[in-house]
Structure 1
Amino acid sequence: MTLKRQFRMRDAFTIAFVFISPIVALYAVFGLVMQAAGPAGWWAFAVVLVLQLLIALSLGVLVSRWPFQGGSYQWARRLVGESYGWAAGWAYIWTIIIVIASNAYAIASFIPPLLGIPDFSLIEHIAVALVILVATTALNLIGPVVLKILTRLSLAAEVVGSIVLATVLLIWHREQPLSILFTSGGAADGDYLWGGFILAMGFVGFGFAGFETVCSMAEEIDRPEKNLPKAIVGALATIGIVVLYSSLALVLSTPDFGAVITGAIVDPAANNITESLGPGIAQPFFGLVIIGFAASMLTAQTSISRVIWSFSRDGVLPASRFMAKLSQKHRTPNRAIIVVGVLAIVITLLAFSEQVYATLVAAAAGGFFVTMGLVVVALFARIVSKKWHAGPFSLGVFTLPVVAAAAAWIVFEVINLAWPRSPGEEVPWYVSWSVPIGLAGIALVGLVVWLSVRDRIRAVNRDLHEHHQIAGEEDTNSAESVATS
């Protein structure tokens, strides 16, 4: 049984758009950015957008050449080798599963203000997040129609929650002059560059990550070698413009940056909206935020289940035969969807300590850039060695400088996210070192699993190598070459 191409260009764009979501990208990090860098932190959104577009262009080049189910797993294994590809895919799987768990937790935090009830206790919060995970998994099992409906509903929510709301704040509730964008407001205690702006770039980088997840569904998308590069670049550019506009409105409508920077106002975005428009407007706004997070969560589960299915099709995961089966009706990997839901539940159950939960989320941020780094750096090496042949989407003479700049940005961001800003001072040591610890944990578990399937990985490598020799070419764009199991 083969996959069904049931998504068009507009669906690919919408999925990429909704996974990041301007609401999620902005409201998840706005308070952190302002506390780190003050009003001038707004420039971090602009700088990081340009740098992330370099990554999007680089990944567009890759998916155009190899439009296969599994995204980074398939690209990395063809760029370097099976074990390298396995490691890239393994890191990506756990990155997205942690993101799914964090989204469920975030949705649960918005329910009390939406309903006007007291905040949940930690146990209640975890329980509600688990219910959300079960519900999302059930929706995903219904079929692609649910994904299409919810993503389009999320687009409408984005228009109201981002563009319309920002316009209202700019026109009728502006509190600050434009010149405030060039001041820190006392943030970072004088260490503005390293402790302020560069730290803010780390937060924004996480907010703008995930646009590439739709590439994991390449074999379900019409003409993916042409449509996916346009979808991921276009979605990221559109989201970036919306976030720049919305964040500008939030900065200029903030009456007291001192309270934001000191932490007296924990969520400046929600506070601005409540103070400017009243609680009657704020409650429906939280409903829009929930829709944005829910759609992002659904698309994340959909895409990462395809990566697991791609692994399973090659037989390089435990229980591969079980997870490689497609549903009869929609030809979707429902068993892989269930596995993702179960693993996200396990991650959520680990969140009974707020510090542990923060550690997991930080690890996800690092995981995004490590995974992208594995493929972009390998692409850079392939181009430099003159062994790269472009697909239908190509940057021509700009390919090398764009990929080189993207690789440099990724390496910088991994160091930025992993570097402990305050070891042993205000937070426990394991929180300061959360990214290295989280990535080390993923790598350790991955090593154990890899050892259990390495013979199969080697067999797949031989099969793929023999296929290329028979074809008389270094690699192939044929989807059949992926299915070696």
Structure 2
Amino acid sequence: MEHMTEDEKVLHNMGYAQELARRMSGFSNFAISFSIICILAGGITAFPVAFSSGGGFSVSIGWLVGGFFALVVAASVGQIASAYPTAGGLYHWASILGGRGWGWLCAWINLVGLIFVVASVNFGVYLLLKDLVITGVFGVDTSAWGALHASIFVTIFAVTQALFNHFGIKITTMLTDFSGYLIFVVAIGLTLSMLIWGASFDLSRLFTFVNNSGEPGGLVVPEPRTALVAFLIGLLYPLYTITGFDASAHTSEETINARSTVPKGMLNSVFWSLLFGFFLASSFVLAMPDTTVAAKDGFNSFFNLFNTLPMPELLRDLLAIGIVIANYICGLAGMTSTSRMIYAFARDGGLPASKALATIHPKHRTPVNAIWLTAALSAGACYYAPFMFALAAGCALFLYISYAMPVAAGLFAEGKTWTEYGPFRLGAWSKPFAIITIIGVVILAYAGIQPPFNPIILPLFPDLVFPLNQLTNPLIFLAVAMGLGWFLSERKRFKGPPIGEEIKRRQAEIAAREKALDAAEAS
């Protein structure tokens, strides 16, 4: 006990053992969130959402609006993370500040959002690999590829990402650290390529709003909408991209000096993504030979632009490969974050088979069962909704709602039931930022349910068509399931994270658990 670190003391005071390996540096904590945000992922695959909604204005100004909102949310969340540096992150904070029912609901919403992150990124990896590398680099005709090919590749991605996670945080950290540098290099290279070999430097494109909803925007938003609604739909682009930064919080128990490092990791990952992503997205708009044709291209707009840009072929190939690698590691980081959330929720009894899902591998010190469940659920989400727009909208919607829940609870608890704070404080900005977060998430929720997605078509049963669209259907199902689950079962069974005397009672159990894990790791 005399060698206990400050991080371990804080964790013990919250009633948890140091089961995960605490090896992440400040840069690694930043890199895992920066890798999940990955402007080369959503910044590319979701680009048509903005451009085919409101043109260059939605891309550039929309990116700034969405990015600054994300920065406010990250600051609000970071303040709470500094006070409660736990792997459960949002779930734990919502429970402590708003009650166990609020925390239980937040956990499920956050879990769905995280699953959508991994699913949407891996589906995006498939699209980028198919169009940029397999076709673009190797010249293979993939025009006949369909849902079966997507399912196979997504499964391969999920399994290999789970294997990397299975064998320890050190391997994952090495890859996400590498990805942090790779994203900077490829983003700068891609931006410069668009500007050097692009067709236009007409800056007015970036500040001219064009309502492309309806026929002008292809299949992205096929029904005409008002200019305001079109702009709001376009905000899904930056907010889908700049999300997942709660990964820094979910790896709190694996991060050194977590109370200071985690908030910095979140804020820095959002800030640099906002800055570099703005120039990257703007370069796409400036490089388009014809913006009207590009809007009509819809989801193919970036691929058509990239593949026809008159840059050297070697450079095009290197950029394409770099984009795909960064996206793959983005999915890997997402799986790390999701598995830690499942582990933390399970150790408090919040999930079926909680004991199994909270199991830590004694040698690798990773939540192996939670990792493989994440792999299965993320792949399954792609089988259910093989449509990028539905996954992207669901990801942004669910995650930002889960971010707002502990922030909203903190708004009312600060200075009352919430009196213990960490070194990162917002001070006078705390409540205004919380109010902005809540209002912004309400607007995002409205935007998220606007796009008329295609009817649900399961790849294995193409003739079975569901009448509700791919986002509305799971929203209704989850709302009903969560309500029934809480009032019929969990309201009486679920105790939430430990508080008060329960924390004191756990100390002997914590010491025994850590001793057993240390002995197993040493052997």
Do these two structures clear the TM 0.5 threshold for a shared fold by scoring above it?
A: yes
- Alignment match of 1:233 (pick from 267, 284, 287): 267
- Residues 127-176 of structure 1: CA deviation (Å, up to 9, x unaligned): 12112211111121121222122213323331332112212322443513
1:153 counterpart = 2:178: yes
1:457 counterpart = 2:494: yes
Distance 2:416 2:454 in 1: 41
2:474 partner letter: G
- Stretches of structure 2 lacking an aligned partner (at least 5 in a row): 1-16, 215-223, 456-464, 514-523
Specify the alignment match of 1:195 in structure 2: 229
Of residues 194-203 and 252-261 in structure 1, the stretch that sits farther from structure 2 once superposed is 194-203
- Alignment match of 1:62 (pick from 76, 80, 85): 80
Q: What is the correspondence of 1:326-345 to structure 2 with a 5 Å cutoff?
A: 326-345=360-379
Q: 1:67 aligns to what SS in structure 2?
A: coil
2:94 partner letter: A
Does the CA-based 8 Å contact 1:188-1:195 persist in structure 2? no
Q: 2:156 aligns to what SS in structure 1?
A: helix
Structure 2 CA distance for partners of 1:445 and 1:289, relative to 1, 3 Å? farther
Cα deviation, residue 315, structure 1: 2.1
Specify the alignment match of 1:439 in structure 2: 475
Does the CA-based 8 Å contact 2:21-2:169 persist in structure 1? no
Cα deviation, residue 185, structure 1: 4.5
Does the CA-based 8 Å contact 2:198-2:288 persist in structure 1? no
Distance 2:30 2:451 in 1: 36
Distance 1:293 1:3 in 2: 26
Distance 1:301 1:209 in 2: 14
1:178 counterpart = 2:200: no
Cα deviation, residue 280, structure 1: 4.9
Distance 1:387 1:454 in 2: 23
Does the CA-based 8 Å contact 1:260-1:266 persist in structure 2? no
1:274 counterpart = 2:291: no
Distance 2:430 2:370 in 1: 35
Q: What is the correspondence of 1:40-439 to structure 2 with a 5 Å cutoff?
A: 40-41=57-58, 42-113=60-131, 114-115=133-134, 116-119=139-142, 120-185=145-210, 187-188=212-213, 193-263=227-297, 266-276=299-309, 277=311, 280-351=314-385, 354=386, 358-383=389-414, 387-419=418-450, 430-431=468-469, 434-439=470-475
Specify the alignment match of 2:33 in structure 1: 16
Distance 1:224 1:369 in 2: 22
Cα deviation, residue 193, structure 1: 3.1
Does the CA-based 8 Å contact 1:38-1:186 persist in structure 2? yes
Cα deviation, residue 82, structure 1: 1.3
Q: 2:468 aligns to what SS in structure 1?
A: helix
Does the CA-based 8 Å contact 2:43-2:237 persist in structure 1? no
Distance 2:390 2:230 in 1: 20
Distance 1:117 1:261 in 2: 26
Does the CA-based 8 Å contact 2:94-2:409 persist in structure 1? yes
1:18 partner letter: S
- Stretches of structure 1 lacking an aligned partner (at least 5 in a row): 472-478
Q: 1:228 aligns to what SS in structure 2?
A: helix
Cα deviation, residue 54, structure 1: 0.6
Of residues 271-280 and 174-183 in structure 1, the stretch that sits farther from structure 2 once superposed is 271-280
Does the CA-based 8 Å contact 2:400-2:441 persist in structure 1? yes
Distance 1:248 1:59 in 2: 29
- Residues 75-101 of structure 1: CA deviation (Å, up to 9, x unaligned): 000011112111111111121112212
Distance 2:102 2:354 in 1: 19
Of residues 73-82 and 115-124 in structure 1, the stretch that sits farther from structure 2 once superposed is 115-124
Does the CA-based 8 Å contact 1:53-1:237 persist in structure 2? yes
Does the CA-based 8 Å contact 2:79-2:425 persist in structure 1? yes
Distance 2:236 2:120 in 1: 18
Higher helix share: 1
Distance 2:30 2:405 in 1: 24
Distance 1:112 1:28 in 2: 13
Distance 1:327 1:40 in 2: 49
2:99 partner letter: G
Name the TM-score, length of structure 2 as normaliser: 0.81
Cα deviation, residue 64, structure 1: 0.6
Calculate percent identity across the aligned residue pairs: 23
Does the CA-based 8 Å contact 1:316-1:456 persist in structure 2? no
Distance 1:410 1:220 in 2: 29
Distance 1:105 1:390 in 2: 40
Does the CA-based 8 Å contact 1:274-1:281 persist in structure 2? no
Cα deviation, residue 395, structure 1: 1.2
Q: 1:430 aligns to what SS in structure 2?
A: strand
- Residues 186-226 of structure 1: CA deviation (Å, up to 9, x unaligned): 53479663233222113321111111122012111111111
2:305 partner letter: N
Structure 2 CA distance for partners of 1:429 and 1:342, relative to 1, 3 Å? closer
Of residues 311-320 and 245-254 in structure 1, the stretch that sits farther from structure 2 once superposed is 311-320
2:475 partner letter: L
Cα deviation, residue 454, structure 1: 4.3
Q: 1:267 aligns to what SS in structure 2?
A: helix
Cα deviation, residue 179, structure 1: 1.9
Does the CA-based 8 Å contact 2:28-2:177 persist in structure 1? no
- The number of equivalent residue pairs is 464
Cα deviation, residue 421, structure 1: 6.1
